Amino acid sequence: MGCSGCRVRFNFAKVLSKVSVFFAMVLIFTYFFYCLTGFCDSAPRSLYTQQALDYDILDDNRRVLDDLRPPARLLPGAPSLWNRTAAPADAEQVEQAHGQHPSVSAEEAAQSSSSSSIPVSNTFGIKRFPQAIIIGVKKGGTRALLEFLRIHPDVRAVGAEPHFFDRFYDRGLEWYRSLMPRTLDGQITMEKTPSYFITKEAPGRVCSMNCHTKLIVVVRDPVTRAVSDYTQTLSKNPGLPSFQSLALKNSSTGLIDTTWSAVRIGLYAKHLENWLQHFPLSHFLFVSGERLVSDPAGEMGRVQDFLGLKRVVSDKHFYFNQTKGFPCLKKPEGSSRPRCLGKSKGRPHPEIPSEVLQRLRDFYKPFNHRFYQMSGQDFGWD
């Protein structure tokens, strides 16, 4: 009997021990379960907080929200977005930065421009210094060339003329870069300011930015160019003296007044000498303003080759406008009409006495021949 009681007490103790172990294991399992559940619940919040912090660092005027969208270039029909340079926005941006609205800084102007009705594609990429600049010449066809280049998906250009290297150089290179459009890898940033070609300081300033910059000069018969220049000025100032009184120092001697800008711009050889002190000839492309009218596709092929671009702009993009007397771009997709340059382009020239024009041709002849030799091209103006 005594031994039987001992066995009962011993079995009870074993059961109690097992029950205690079981409850201990339940408590441990419950503890780990709640610990793990709490960790899993807190982990996403921690990661999300970190992610939000990263986005705050990257956020630049809501760029992150735009960057979350797929690039416009990957969407059906989207390549046309890359051809848009929002010229009105660029023009406003440059005007503000130039000081016409002194209360707005260049940086604020750029931010305002990027947030006002600009295609989403403009928020991609970065702002770079231009790899190519159309440096001249005034009334040579620079606006037409830039508009034709804009058809190319790998060209991005400033809408207004920045005039950085001749008028606003004291504002600094970062100010200049802030005016540039955003570009992706493989795209070219460009700008056009025809007065650079005749500005003495411009070559050194451009080289100080980048001596590998590609330079495009659109040239035209200097006599025709001078008349076109005068016509433009006359439209703005109807009281302007006659062309011959400005072009000639003395009507009896027939000496040409080279101090008049309309005449001085046409001395291409002299201006090129200044540029060749800083850049090799291989960095220049001389575009014929006449051929840009008579054969725009052919001349644009040369430009695209010079810039290292695939030949995208071709005959299919142009038609000749008989009224204006120069080529226009055919109707783009989604547009109701073709694209021609503004009303100021193709205006009729005033009648100039033939003897005055001949004196100008005789005056320019040696300079033209010198320019042909320097550029390696005969433009046939004589």
Rounded-to-10 torsion of CA 39, 45, 47, 53:
-150
How much is the pTM? 0.69
Per annotation, catalytic residue among 138, 139, 192, 214: 139
pLDDT band at residue 58, thresholds of 50, 70 and 90?
very low
Distance (Å, whole) CA 198 – CA 213: 17
In this predicted structure, what is the pLDDT of residue 342? 59
Is 278 assigned a ligand-binding role in the annotation? Answer: no
Phi/psi at 65 (nearest 5 deg)? -60, -35
Reply yes or no on whether the pLDDT at 148 is more than 90: yes
What are the boundaries of each domain within the chain? 124-375
In this predicted structure, what is the pLDDT of residue 84? 37
Is 142 assigned a ligand-binding role in the annotation? Answer: yes
In this predicted structure, what is the pLDDT of residue 18? 77
Distance (Å, whole) CA 327 – CA 348: 16
In this predicted structure, what is the pLDDT of residue 330? 87
Distance (Å, whole) CA 24 – CA 17: 10
Q: Cβ distance 96 to 60 under 8 Å?
A: no
Reply yes or no on whether the pLDDT at 73 is more than 60: no
Is 138 assigned a ligand-binding role in the annotation? Answer: no
pLDDT band at residue 61, thresholds of 50, 70 and 90?
very low
Reply yes or no on whether 139 is catalytic. yes
Is 37 assigned a ligand-binding role in the annotation? Answer: no
pLDDT 10s digits, 19-30: 777 778 877 777
Q: Cβ distance 264 to 197 under 8 Å?
A: no
Answer with the residue of higher pLDDT: 44 or 128.
128
Does domain 124-375 fall under CATH 3.40.50.720? My reply is no
Reply yes or no on whether the pLDDT at 98 is more than 60: no
In this predicted structure, what is the pLDDT of residue 83? 39
The pLDDT of 316-327, averaged and rounded, is 86
Phi/psi at 264 (nearest 5 deg)? -65, -35
Lowest mean pLDDT among 95-99, 258-262, 306-310: 95-99
The CA–CA distances, whole Å, from 129 to 41, 158, 308, 310 equal 49, 11, 17, 21
pLDDT band at residue 340, thresholds of 50, 70 and 90?
confident
